[in-house]
């Protein structure tokens, strides 16, 4: 890829995750003018991240590229100039130029920022201690190699990635301990009832749970010291303690930023009229719920990427025109061992929780705000409630309506 001063890219995309790849393809498919370029720090062809903590870590699938785009977008993708293994280190909004670490200046007419998230390091780990994180395919390869020689593992963090990874490791015979400051896995996000259910699944999968404790230090020998003075010896330590979207080049760019997220309107345009943002990095104004949301979900990154790329292709720089608006209710699936959870929610908290048990382990958890409006749904083996939950969220229905059809067994 090269760009001369006289020929800017019609669209330049930063990031080769689902948001970036879908933005580039959507721009081409919408007939956007000019050449399309995509720059990514990732060294691999675009791939799916979700299998990394599931089938790949469980040893059921190889750690290799699994394509992001559907076959019908192959011809659009073929038109994109892709440059992998290249960090962007500066963005000059006034000159409409992106500078890469190898000193190239790439000019753009329109820009989509889809730089996603990075795992945060584990506090207290000594510099020489080997603590794995899991975000990229390269991380996945390194982790899978290390697991081959490991008989014991400590997973730190009980978010979805921590829970999935712990179940995958235990499932392949590694003695696995999950350490979390939460009283139960994901209790803060999903409530105590769901947390207790996930704890049961993990325990049944062979995971030792250490709840309400924090890691104080990790020594190079693999000793993990907890704040209740206990020590766990592990061949392998995986930290899944959260992610950050913060990047120096974005902070320095002058774009409107809130806690590392790029602030965008409901058409995903940033504070600069030539620049859109999509996926994990965006703090987007959601057109249905009427407030700003962040989401860290695969499917939503795809949707937001398509929206940003399509709007960049068709929407006037001066704000004229009618951009497509971000309107889907966020949602995702998680596989914890043999159990699948489906979750759709605005993702910014809840005041009320109602549990409906359907027998044989199936359940639905409804979440509502203080005004009684549905703000989320979590299901296990109950797809009809997951689908209905998305519809109820989209029309801002009440908890009473959600429970109306299933009042039996509510607690
Ligand atoms: C192990 C794992 C399992 C997951 N499982 C699920 C799941 O089951 N369901 C679900 O909904 N979500 C899941 N997620 C979350 C999901 O993968 C993310 O929400 C999604 O990838 C976000 O997409 P994105 O395009 O915004 O960013 P990312 O996928 O993070 O991509 C960002 C891209 O930007 C590039 N980049 C960053 N900075 C720079 C720079 N300075 N210069 C150049 N390039 C840069 C990166 O290299 C990368 O290519 C999982 C995530 C992980 C890590």
Residues whose CB falls within 8 Å of the CB of residue 325, separated by 6 or more in sequence, listed in order: 266, 267, 287, 307
Q: Is 168 in the pocket of ligand 1 (CB under 6 A)?
A: no
- Alpha-carbon span 85 to 297, nearest angstrom: 24
Q: Which atom of ligand 1 is nearest to the CA of 53?
A: 1
Q: Is the pLDDT score of 4 beyond 50?
A: no
CA of 142 to the centre of ligand 1 (A): 18
Closest among 202, 201, 198 to 187, alpha carbons compared: 198
Long-range CB contact pairs, 343-346, < 8 A, 24+: 343/190, 343/376, 343/377, 343/378, 343/379, 344/376, 344/377, 344/386, 344/389, 344/390, 344/393, 345/375, 345/376, 345/377, 345/378, 345/393, 346/286, 346/289, 346/293, 346/375, 346/376, 346/393
Comparison of pLDDT for 2 and 379, the residue scoring more: 379
Average pLDDT for 175-203: 97
Q: Is 165 in the pocket of ligand 1 (CB under 6 A)?
A: no
Judge whether 192 and 198 are in contact, CB under 8 Å: no
Average pLDDT for 245-250: 97
Cα separation values, 116 from 225, 304, 400, Å = 31, 12, 37
- Alpha-carbon span 363 to 202, nearest angstrom: 17
Q: Is the pLDDT score of 202 beyond 70?
A: yes
What are 135-144's pLDDT values in tens digits? Answer: 999 999 999 9
pLDDT of residue 239: 98
Q: Is 193 in the pocket of ligand 1 (CB under 6 A)?
A: no
- Percent of residues, the chain, with pLDDT higher than 90: 93
Per-residue pLDDT band at 6 (split at 50, 70, 90): low
Cα separation values, 2 from 12, 86, 104, Å = 12, 13, 8
Cα separation values, 137 from 53, 123, 140, 337, Å = 10, 23, 5, 20
Average pLDDT for 115-143: 96
Average pLDDT for 249-257: 98
Q: Which atom of ligand 1 is nearest to the CA of 40?
A: 44
Ligand 1 pocket test, candidate residues 280, 328, 342, 390, most atoms within 8 A of CB: 280
Average pLDDT for 317-321: 61
Q: Which atom of ligand 1 is nearest to the CA of 164?
A: 3
Q: Is 247 in the pocket of ligand 1 (CB under 6 A)?
A: yes
Per-residue pLDDT band at 15 (split at 50, 70, 90): very high
Of 56-60, 67-71, 90-94, give the lowest mean pLDDT range: 67-71
Average pLDDT for 52-69: 96
pLDDT of residue 409: 60
Of 24-33, 271-280, 375-384, 402-411, give the lowest mean pLDDT range: 402-411
Q: Which atom of ligand 1 is nearest to the CA of 135?
A: 53
CA of 123 to the centre of ligand 1 (A): 22
Residues whose CB falls within 8 Å of the CB of residue 278, separated by 6 or more in sequence, listed in order: 19, 20, 22, 23, 112, 113, 114, 268, 301, 304, 305, 307, 308, 309
Q: Which atom of ligand 1 is nearest to the CA of 18?
A: 25
Atom 33 of ligand 1, nearest CA residue: 15
Average pLDDT of the chain is 95
pLDDT of residue 50: 97
Per-residue pLDDT band at 410 (split at 50, 70, 90): low
pLDDT of residue 92: 98
Closest among 92, 80, 78, 93 to 39, alpha carbons compared: 80
Q: Is the pLDDT score of 5 beyond 80?
A: no
pLDDT of residue 7: 86
Helices 160-171, 192-204: crossing angle, 10 deg rounding:
20
Q: Is the pLDDT score of 341 beyond 80?
A: yes
- Alpha-carbon span 375 to 372, nearest angstrom: 9
Q: Is 95 in the pocket of ligand 1 (CB under 6 A)?
A: no
Per-residue pLDDT band at 66 (split at 50, 70, 90): very high
Answer yes or no: pTM beyond 0.85: yes
SS (H, E, C) the chain: CCCCCCCCEEEEEECCCHHHHHHHHHHHHCCCCCCEEEECCCCCCCCCCHHHHCCCCCCCCCCCCCCCCCHHHHHHHHCEEEECCCCEEEEECCCCEEEECCCCEEEEEEEEECCCCEECCCCCECCCCCEECCCCHHHHHHHHHHHCCCCEEEEECCCHHHHHHHHHHHHCCCEEEEECCCCCCCHHHHCHHHHHHHHHHHHHCCCEEECCCCEEEECCCCEEEECCCCEEECCEEEECCCEECCCHHHHCCCCCEECCEEEECCCCECCCCCEEECHHHEEEECCCCCCEECCCCHHHHHHHHHHHHHHHHHCCCCCCCCCCCCCCCCEEEEEECCEEEEEEECCCCCCEEEEEEEECCEEEEEEECCCCEEEEEEEECCHHHHHHHHHHHHCCCEHHHHHHCCCCCEC
pLDDT of residue 322: 79
């Amino acid at each position: 890829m090269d760009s001369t001063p006289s020929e800017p890219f019609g669209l330049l995309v930063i990031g080769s995750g689902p948001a970036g790849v879908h933005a580039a393809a959507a721009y081409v498919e919408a007939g956007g003018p000019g050449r399309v370029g995509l720059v990514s720090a990732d060294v691999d062809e675009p791939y799916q991240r979700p299998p990394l903590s599931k089938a790949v870590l469980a040893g059921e699938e190889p750690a290799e590229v699994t394509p992001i785009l559907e076959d019908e977008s192959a011809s659009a993708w073929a038109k994109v100039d892709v440059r992998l293994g290249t960090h962007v280190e500066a963005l000059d909004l006034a000159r409409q130029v992106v500078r890469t670490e190898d000193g190239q200046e790439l000019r753009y007419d329109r820009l989509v920022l889809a730089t996603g998230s990075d795992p945060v390091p584990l506090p207290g780990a000594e510099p020489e201690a080997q603590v794995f994180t899991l975000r990229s395919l390269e991380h996945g390869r390194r982790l899978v190699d290390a697991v081959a020689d490991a008989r014991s593992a400590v997973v730190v963090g009980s978010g979805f990635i921590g829970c999935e990874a712990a179940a995958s490791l235990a499932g392949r015979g590694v003695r696995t301990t999950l350490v979390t400051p939460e009283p139960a896995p994901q209790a803060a996000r999903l409530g105590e009832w769901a947390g207790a259910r996930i704890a049961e699944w993990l325990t049944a999968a062979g995971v030792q749970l250490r709840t309400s404790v924090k890691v104080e230090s990790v020594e190079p020998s693999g000793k993990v010291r907890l704040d209740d003075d206990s020590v766990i010896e592990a061949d392998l330590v995986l930290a899944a303690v959260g992610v950050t979207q913060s990047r120096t080049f974005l902070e320095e760019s002058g774009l409107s930023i809130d806690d590392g997220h790029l602030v965008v309107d409901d058409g995903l345009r940033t504070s600069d009229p030539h620049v859109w943002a999509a996926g994990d990095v965006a703090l987007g104004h959601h057109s249905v719920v009427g407030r700003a949301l962040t989401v860290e979900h695969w499917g939503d990154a795809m949707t937001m990427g398509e929206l940003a790329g399509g709007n960049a292709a068709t929407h006037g720089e001066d704000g004229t025109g009618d951009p497509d608006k971000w309107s889907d209710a966020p949602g995702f699936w998680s596989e914890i061992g043999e159990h699948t959870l489906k979750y759709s929610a605005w993702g910014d908290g809840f005041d009320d929780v109602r549990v409906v048990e359907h027998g044989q382990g199936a359940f639905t958890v409804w979440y509502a705000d203080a005004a009684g409006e549905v703000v989320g749904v979590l299901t296990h083996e109950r797809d009809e409630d997951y689908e209905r939950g998305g519809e109820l969220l989209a029309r801002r229905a009440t908890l009473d309506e959600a429970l109306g059809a299933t009042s039996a067994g509510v607690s």
